[in-house]
Amino acid sequence: MANDPLSQTFAALADPTRRAILVRLAQGQATVNEVAEPFDMSLQAVSKHLKALEAAGLISRGQDAQYRPCHFEPAPLEAATNWITTNQRVWTERYDQLEQHLKRMRHDQKKEKES
Amino acid sequence: MNDAPTELGELTITRIFEARPEVVFECMTTPAHLTHFWGPVGMSTPLEGIMIEPRPGGRFETVMVHDETGEKYPMRGVFMEFDPPRTFSFTEADVAGGMTTTIVFNDLGDGRTETVTHQTNVPPMLMSPEAQAGLETSFVKFDAYLATL
Protein backbone atom coordinates (compact mmCIF):
# COMPACT_ATOMS: atom_id res chain seq x y z
CA MET A 1 0.00 0.00 0.00
CA ALA A 2 1.41 3.36 -1.00
CA ASN A 3 1.58 6.07 1.62
CA ASP A 4 0.16 8.98 -0.34
CA PRO A 5 -2.85 10.68 1.31
CA LEU A 6 -5.28 9.42 -1.35
CA SER A 7 -4.29 5.79 -0.76
CA GLN A 8 -4.66 6.22 2.99
CA THR A 9 -8.12 7.69 2.51
CA PHE A 10 -9.12 4.84 0.21
CA ALA A 11 -7.79 2.21 2.61
CA ALA A 12 -9.59 3.77 5.55
CA LEU A 13 -12.85 3.99 3.59
CA ALA A 14 -12.65 0.39 2.38
CA ASP A 15 -14.16 -0.81 5.66
CA PRO A 16 -17.97 -0.58 6.06
CA THR A 17 -17.79 -0.02 9.82
CA ARG A 18 -15.47 2.93 9.36
CA ARG A 19 -17.82 4.38 6.75
CA ALA A 20 -20.74 4.01 9.19
CA ILE A 21 -18.68 5.73 11.88
CA LEU A 22 -17.97 8.61 9.51
CA VAL A 23 -21.65 9.05 8.68
CA ARG A 24 -22.38 9.10 12.41
CA LEU A 25 -19.69 11.72 13.04
CA ALA A 26 -20.90 13.83 10.12
CA GLN A 27 -24.03 14.42 12.20
CA GLY A 28 -22.01 15.82 15.03
CA GLN A 29 -19.03 15.12 17.25
CA ALA A 30 -19.20 12.12 19.55
CA THR A 31 -17.20 10.33 22.20
CA VAL A 32 -15.87 6.80 21.67
CA ASN A 33 -18.73 5.44 23.78
CA GLU A 34 -21.32 7.29 21.70
CA VAL A 35 -19.72 6.13 18.46
CA ALA A 36 -19.65 2.53 19.69
CA GLU A 37 -23.28 2.47 20.80
CA PRO A 38 -24.97 1.25 17.57
CA PHE A 39 -22.25 -1.31 16.81
CA ASP A 40 -22.07 -4.83 18.10
CA MET A 41 -18.37 -4.69 18.89
CA SER A 42 -16.00 -3.96 21.72
CA LEU A 43 -14.86 -0.45 22.60
CA GLN A 44 -11.39 -1.65 21.78
CA ALA A 45 -12.42 -2.58 18.23
CA VAL A 46 -14.14 0.77 17.78
CA SER A 47 -11.04 2.57 19.06
CA LYS A 48 -8.98 0.74 16.48
CA HIS A 49 -11.29 1.95 13.68
CA LEU A 50 -11.12 5.47 15.06
CA LYS A 51 -7.33 5.31 15.03
CA ALA A 52 -7.37 4.25 11.37
CA LEU A 53 -9.72 7.11 10.51
CA GLU A 54 -7.57 9.56 12.46
CA ALA A 55 -4.40 8.36 10.70
CA ALA A 56 -6.12 9.00 7.36
CA GLY A 57 -7.08 12.49 8.50
CA LEU A 58 -10.78 11.68 8.18
CA ILE A 59 -11.44 12.50 11.82
CA SER A 60 -9.74 14.52 14.52
CA ARG A 61 -9.88 14.02 18.28
CA GLY A 62 -10.49 16.68 20.88
CA GLN A 63 -7.95 17.55 23.58
CA ASP A 64 -10.23 16.76 26.53
CA ALA A 65 -8.14 14.01 28.12
CA GLN A 66 -11.11 12.04 29.43
CA TYR A 67 -13.52 12.12 26.49
CA ARG A 68 -11.49 13.12 23.43
CA PRO A 69 -14.57 13.66 21.25
CA CYS A 70 -14.22 12.70 17.56
CA HIS A 71 -14.87 15.21 14.77
CA PHE A 72 -15.51 14.41 11.12
CA GLU A 73 -12.94 16.01 8.79
CA PRO A 74 -14.39 16.22 5.27
CA ALA A 75 -11.33 17.37 3.30
CA PRO A 76 -9.76 13.95 2.52
CA LEU A 77 -13.16 12.56 1.51
CA GLU A 78 -13.64 15.45 -0.87
CA ALA A 79 -10.20 14.85 -2.34
CA ALA A 80 -11.07 11.17 -2.90
CA THR A 81 -14.39 11.83 -4.61
CA ASN A 82 -12.83 14.60 -6.69
CA TRP A 83 -10.20 12.17 -7.84
CA ILE A 84 -12.81 9.64 -9.00
CA THR A 85 -14.89 12.27 -10.77
CA THR A 86 -11.86 13.78 -12.47
CA ASN A 87 -10.58 10.40 -13.59
CA GLN A 88 -13.93 9.55 -15.18
CA ARG A 89 -14.07 12.94 -16.90
CA VAL A 90 -10.51 12.60 -18.22
CA TRP A 91 -11.30 9.28 -19.91
CA THR A 92 -14.56 10.55 -21.39
CA GLU A 93 -12.92 13.66 -22.83
CA ARG A 94 -9.93 11.64 -24.01
CA TYR A 95 -12.22 9.34 -25.98
CA ASP A 96 -14.21 12.29 -27.35
CA GLN A 97 -10.93 13.61 -28.72
CA LEU A 98 -9.89 10.21 -30.06
CA GLU A 99 -13.17 10.17 -31.98
CA GLN A 100 -12.24 13.53 -33.53
CA HIS A 101 -8.73 12.28 -34.26
CA LEU A 102 -10.08 9.20 -36.08
CA LYS A 103 -12.41 11.45 -38.05
CA ARG A 104 -9.47 13.61 -39.14
CA MET A 105 -7.53 10.49 -40.14
CA ARG A 106 -10.45 9.30 -42.31
CA HIS A 107 -10.72 12.75 -43.84
CA ASP A 108 -6.97 12.87 -44.65
CA GLN A 109 -7.05 9.38 -46.16
CA LYS A 110 -9.99 10.34 -48.35
CA LYS A 111 -8.12 13.44 -49.54
CA GLU A 112 -5.04 11.36 -50.31
CA LYS A 113 -7.07 8.95 -52.40
CA GLU A 114 -8.70 11.79 -54.32
CA SER A 115 -5.47 13.54 -55.21
CA MET B 1 -14.32 -7.74 11.95
CA ASN B 2 -12.04 -7.65 8.97
CA ASP B 3 -9.57 -4.81 9.05
CA ALA B 4 -7.91 -5.34 5.69
CA PRO B 5 -8.95 -3.23 2.69
CA THR B 6 -11.83 -5.16 1.16
CA GLU B 7 -12.91 -5.99 -2.36
CA LEU B 8 -11.68 -3.82 -5.17
CA GLY B 9 -13.89 -1.35 -6.92
CA GLU B 10 -14.20 -1.02 -10.65
CA LEU B 11 -14.92 1.65 -13.16
CA THR B 12 -15.96 0.80 -16.71
CA ILE B 13 -16.23 3.13 -19.69
CA THR B 14 -17.56 1.68 -22.95
CA ARG B 15 -17.22 3.51 -26.26
CA ILE B 16 -17.75 2.72 -29.93
CA PHE B 17 -15.37 4.14 -32.54
CA GLU B 18 -15.80 4.35 -36.31
CA ALA B 19 -12.57 2.50 -37.07
CA ARG B 20 -11.22 -1.02 -37.08
CA PRO B 21 -9.58 -2.43 -33.90
CA GLU B 22 -6.12 -2.29 -35.52
CA VAL B 23 -6.50 1.45 -36.08
CA VAL B 24 -7.94 2.26 -32.65
CA PHE B 25 -5.31 0.12 -30.91
CA GLU B 26 -2.54 1.85 -32.83
CA CYS B 27 -3.91 5.27 -31.95
CA MET B 28 -3.98 4.36 -28.26
CA THR B 29 -0.40 3.06 -28.22
CA THR B 30 1.56 5.34 -30.57
CA PRO B 31 3.01 8.66 -29.30
CA ALA B 32 2.40 10.47 -32.60
CA HIS B 33 -1.30 9.67 -32.26
CA LEU B 34 -1.61 9.98 -28.48
CA THR B 35 -0.34 13.55 -28.52
CA HIS B 36 -3.50 14.52 -30.45
CA PHE B 37 -6.07 13.27 -27.96
CA TRP B 38 -4.59 12.02 -24.67
CA GLY B 39 -5.00 15.25 -22.72
CA PRO B 40 -8.57 16.02 -21.75
CA VAL B 41 -10.15 19.40 -22.52
CA GLY B 42 -7.79 22.20 -21.47
CA MET B 43 -4.71 19.99 -21.40
CA SER B 44 -2.13 18.96 -23.97
CA THR B 45 0.16 15.97 -24.07
CA PRO B 46 3.42 17.02 -25.79
CA LEU B 47 5.06 14.35 -27.90
CA GLU B 48 8.40 14.64 -26.07
CA GLY B 49 6.77 13.64 -22.78
CA ILE B 50 5.34 10.36 -24.11
CA MET B 51 7.25 7.13 -23.56
CA ILE B 52 5.77 3.90 -24.86
CA GLU B 53 7.61 0.59 -24.75
CA PRO B 54 5.08 -1.69 -26.48
CA ARG B 55 5.55 -4.93 -24.55
CA PRO B 56 4.58 -6.44 -21.19
CA GLY B 57 6.82 -4.80 -18.56
CA GLY B 58 7.42 -1.82 -20.84
CA ARG B 59 6.85 1.76 -19.79
CA PHE B 60 3.71 3.72 -20.62
CA GLU B 61 4.34 7.31 -19.56
CA THR B 62 2.75 10.59 -20.49
CA VAL B 63 2.87 14.14 -19.19
CA MET B 64 -0.28 16.18 -19.50
CA VAL B 65 0.27 19.92 -19.40
CA HIS B 66 -2.43 22.35 -18.35
CA ASP B 67 -2.90 24.79 -21.24
CA GLU B 68 -3.32 27.84 -19.01
CA THR B 69 -1.24 27.24 -15.90
CA GLY B 70 1.47 25.06 -17.47
CA GLU B 71 1.08 22.67 -14.56
CA LYS B 72 2.29 19.17 -15.37
CA TYR B 73 0.40 15.94 -14.63
CA PRO B 74 2.66 12.95 -15.23
CA MET B 75 1.32 9.43 -15.60
CA ARG B 76 3.74 6.60 -14.95
CA GLY B 77 2.37 3.27 -16.03
CA VAL B 78 3.85 -0.14 -16.79
CA PHE B 79 2.23 -2.43 -19.35
CA MET B 80 0.95 -5.70 -17.90
CA GLU B 81 -0.46 -6.99 -21.18
CA PHE B 82 0.26 -5.83 -24.70
CA ASP B 83 -1.65 -7.87 -27.25
CA PRO B 84 -2.50 -5.86 -30.40
CA PRO B 85 -5.21 -5.34 -31.51
CA ARG B 86 -7.15 -7.16 -28.79
CA THR B 87 -6.15 -5.64 -25.49
CA PHE B 88 -3.59 -3.87 -23.37
CA SER B 89 -3.43 -3.11 -19.68
CA PHE B 90 -1.17 -1.00 -17.53
CA THR B 91 -0.65 -0.38 -13.84
CA GLU B 92 0.07 2.96 -12.23
CA ALA B 93 1.84 2.11 -8.99
CA ASP B 94 1.65 5.63 -7.62
CA VAL B 95 -2.12 6.08 -7.94
CA ALA B 96 -4.32 5.04 -5.03
CA GLY B 97 -2.06 2.17 -4.05
CA GLY B 98 -1.73 0.70 -7.55
CA MET B 99 -4.48 1.17 -10.11
CA THR B 100 -4.75 -1.06 -13.16
CA THR B 101 -6.42 0.04 -16.38
CA THR B 102 -7.38 -2.58 -18.95
CA ILE B 103 -8.65 -1.67 -22.40
CA VAL B 104 -10.30 -4.36 -24.54
CA PHE B 105 -10.88 -3.68 -28.23
CA ASN B 106 -13.92 -5.59 -29.53
CA ASP B 107 -14.27 -5.93 -33.31
CA LEU B 108 -17.90 -5.20 -34.12
CA GLY B 109 -17.36 -6.69 -37.59
CA ASP B 110 -18.68 -3.67 -39.49
CA GLY B 111 -15.55 -1.51 -39.39
CA ARG B 112 -16.34 -0.28 -35.90
CA THR B 113 -14.65 -1.05 -32.61
CA GLU B 114 -16.08 -1.15 -29.13
CA THR B 115 -13.55 -0.30 -26.44
CA VAL B 116 -14.19 -1.35 -22.88
CA THR B 117 -11.98 0.57 -20.44
CA HIS B 118 -11.89 -1.03 -17.08
CA GLN B 119 -10.15 0.35 -14.00
CA THR B 120 -9.70 -1.71 -10.89
CA ASN B 121 -8.54 -1.00 -7.39
CA VAL B 122 -10.82 1.99 -7.21
CA PRO B 123 -12.56 1.85 -3.83
CA PRO B 124 -16.03 0.39 -4.40
CA MET B 125 -17.88 2.72 -2.11
CA LEU B 126 -16.97 5.70 -4.24
CA MET B 127 -18.26 4.14 -7.45
CA SER B 128 -21.93 3.32 -6.98
CA PRO B 129 -24.64 5.99 -7.29
CA GLU B 130 -25.95 4.93 -3.86
CA ALA B 131 -22.53 5.50 -2.39
CA GLN B 132 -22.26 8.91 -4.03
CA ALA B 133 -25.70 9.79 -2.67
CA GLY B 134 -24.57 8.56 0.74
CA LEU B 135 -21.55 10.80 0.66
CA GLU B 136 -23.66 13.75 -0.32
CA THR B 137 -26.04 12.99 2.50
CA SER B 138 -23.19 12.93 4.96
CA PHE B 139 -21.94 16.25 3.64
CA VAL B 140 -25.39 17.78 4.02
CA LYS B 141 -25.43 16.52 7.58
CA PHE B 142 -21.95 17.86 8.12
CA ASP B 143 -22.99 21.29 6.89
CA ALA B 144 -25.98 21.19 9.21
CA TYR B 145 -23.65 20.33 12.06
CA LEU B 146 -21.33 23.21 11.18
CA ALA B 147 -24.28 25.58 11.25
CA THR B 148 -24.92 24.69 14.87
CA LEU B 149 -21.43 25.65 16.03
Chain B residues within an 8 Å CB radius of A95: 13, 15, 17, 115, 117
pLDDT tops 50 at residue B147: no
- Where do the domains of chain B lie? 9-124
Chain B residues within an 8 Å CB radius of A85: none
Between CA A28 and CA A25 the distance in angstroms is 5
Cβ-defined contact of B38 to A94 (cutoff 8 Å):
yes
pLDDT of residue B148: 47
How far is residue A101 CA from its own chain's centroid?
Answer: 34
Q: Which of B12-16, B20-24, B87-91 has the lowest mean pLDDT?
A: B12-16
Give the model confidence (pLDDT) of A8-23 as tens digits: 787 788 787 888 888 8
Instruction: Give the CATH number of the domain where residue A27 resides.
Output: 1.10.10.10
pLDDT of residue A46: 94
Full domain range(s) for residue A47? 5-114
pLDDT tops 70 at residue B141: no
pLDDT of residue B9: 47
Confidence of residue B100 (pLDDT cuts 50, 70, 90): confident
pLDDT of residue B124: 47
Confidence of residue B2 (pLDDT cuts 50, 70, 90): very low
**Helix/strand/coil (H, E, C) string of chain A?**
CCCCHHHHHHHHHCCHHHHHHHHHHHCCCECHHHHHCCCCCCHHHHHHHHHHHHHCCCEEECCCCCCCCEEECCHHHHHHHHHHHHHHHHHHHHHHHHHHHHHHHHHHHHHHHHC
Confidence of residue B31 (pLDDT cuts 50, 70, 90): very high
Optimal mutation site among A15, A72, A98, A100, interface B, most CBs of chain B within 10 A = A98
Candidates B1, B96, B138; nearest CB to A45: B1
Between CA B74 and CA B92 the distance in angstroms is 11
CB atoms within 10 A of CB B96: 24
Q: Which of residues 17-46 of A touch B (CB under 8 A)?
A: 17, 19, 22-23, 26-29, 41, 45
Chain B residues within an 8 Å CB radius of A45: 1
Domain count, chain A: 1
Cβ-defined contact of B142 to A74 (cutoff 8 Å):
yes
Q: Which of residues 5-24 of B touch A (CB under 8 A)?
A: 5-6, 11, 13, 15, 17-19, 23-24
pLDDT tops 50 at residue B10: yes
pLDDT tops 90 at residue B20: yes
Give the model confidence (pLDDT) of A86-115 as tens digits: 778 888 999 999 999 999 999 888 888 887
ipTM metric: 0.71
Looking at chain B, the whole-number percentage of residues with pLDDT higher than 70 is 72
- pTM over 0.90? The answer is no
Q: What fold, for B9-124?
A: Alpha-D-Glucose-1,6-Bisphosphate; Chain A, domain 4 (3.30.530)
Cβ-defined contact of A10 to B5 (cutoff 8 Å):
yes
Instruction: Answer whether A43's CB lies under 8 Å from A50's CB.
Output: no
